[in-house]
C-alpha cells in the first residue's frame, strides 16, 4: 500500500484531497506501530495500549476515507 501511495499514479488517480487524507492517516498508523513497539519493549504497557487505540482509530478513519473514495470514483 505504501509503495502505491508513494507513486505518481496514486496522486493522479485519487486527487489531492483524498491523497492528503490517506497519506496523513497512513503515516499516523506507521508512527503508532513504532510507538507501540517502543512502549512494549520498555515495559510501558499503558502507553502501548493507548497507542494501539489510536492505531485502531486511525485504521477505521483510513477505511472510511477509502470507502468514500470508492463511492465517489
- pLDDT digit string, tens, across residues 28-57: 999 999 999 999 999 999 999 999 999 999
Q: Is the pTM of this model over 0.75?
A: yes
Three-state SS at 2: helix
Q: What is the Cα–Cα distance from 25 to 68, expressed in whole angstroms?
A: 14
Q: What is the Cα–Cα distance from 65 to 22, expressed in whole angstroms?
A: 7
pLDDT band at 21 (very low <50, low <70, confident <90, very high): very high
Tell me the pLDDT of the chain averaged across its residues.
91
Q: What is the Cα–Cα distance from 23 to 28, expressed in whole angstroms?
A: 9
Amino acid at each position: 500500500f505504501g509503495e502505491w501511495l508513494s507513486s505518481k499514479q496514486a496522486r493522479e488517480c485519487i486527487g489531492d484531497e483524498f491523497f492528503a487524507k490517506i497519506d496523513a492517516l497512513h503515516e499516523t498508523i506507521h508512527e503508532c506501530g513504532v510507538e507501540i513497539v517502543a512502549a512494549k519493549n520498555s515495559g510501558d504497557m499503558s502507553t502501548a495500549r493507548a497507542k494501539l487505540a489510536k492505531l485502531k482509530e486511525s485504521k477505521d478513519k483510513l477505511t472510511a476515507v477509502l470507502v468514500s473514495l470508492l463511492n465517489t470514483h
